[in-house]
Amino acid sequence: MNSIIRVTREFTFEMAHVLGNYDGPCRNVHGHSYRLFVTLSGVPVNDADNPKNGMVIDFTELKNIVLKKIVNLFDHSVVISRNFDEEKKGMLEKTFGNTVIVDYQPTCENLVADFAGRLINEMPEGISLHSLKLYETAKSYAEWFAEDNR
């Protein structure tokens, strides 16, 4: 059986951000409890002698990739655009310590695209990053699909 199967693992992390030049309340530093769903696609191993028989990927391997590339960096950080006001940026770096400076406005949409870029080339041979879903709140999320970004 050579069916392509999709597997998904959920990750959670806490992160603050501030949106520069925004006209709503998110122009202030605030945090969210993010939920990230990472979906991969591939053909399950079909080899009775392989300890990963029947798996597209060992979920522990997927966990280790996502922790290394995303969660360990962004968890309990404050994320600020490189273009954010320099004086305020310096103050936030001093105040919060774990500050991540990015080259974009740190919206949910831009974060999920960034995360896809951090993961897409980290997949083992024969496995593809299919999609990401990033919940910023319980009711709001952004999605990235490989199919839309070819």
Kindly report, residue by residue over 39-83, the tens digit of the pLDDT.
Answer: 999 999 999 999 999 999 999 999 999 999 999 999 999 999 999
Please state which CATH number belongs to domain 5-149: 3.30.479.10
Q: Where are the domains of the chain?
A: 5-149
Give the pLDDT confidence score for residue 1 in this predicted structure: 61
Give the residues across from 13 on adjacent strands: 34
pTM of the model: 0.95
Of 77, 70, 149, nearest to 111 by C-alpha is 70
**Measuring CA to CA, how many Å separate 32 from each of 4, 13, 95, 117?**
34, 8, 18, 22
User: Residue range 109-134: average pLDDT?
Assistant: 97
> For the residues of 102-123, what is the DSSP string, one character each?
ESS---HHHHHHHHHHHHGGGS
E strands of the chain, at which residues?
5-17, 30-42, 77-81, 99-102, 128-137, 140-145
C-alpha distance across the termini of the chain, in Å: 27
Give the pLDDT confidence score for residue 97 in this predicted structure: 87
Residue 38: pLDDT band (50, 70, 90) is: very high
Mean pLDDT of the chain: 95
Joined together, the tokens standing for residue 127 give: 């496995």
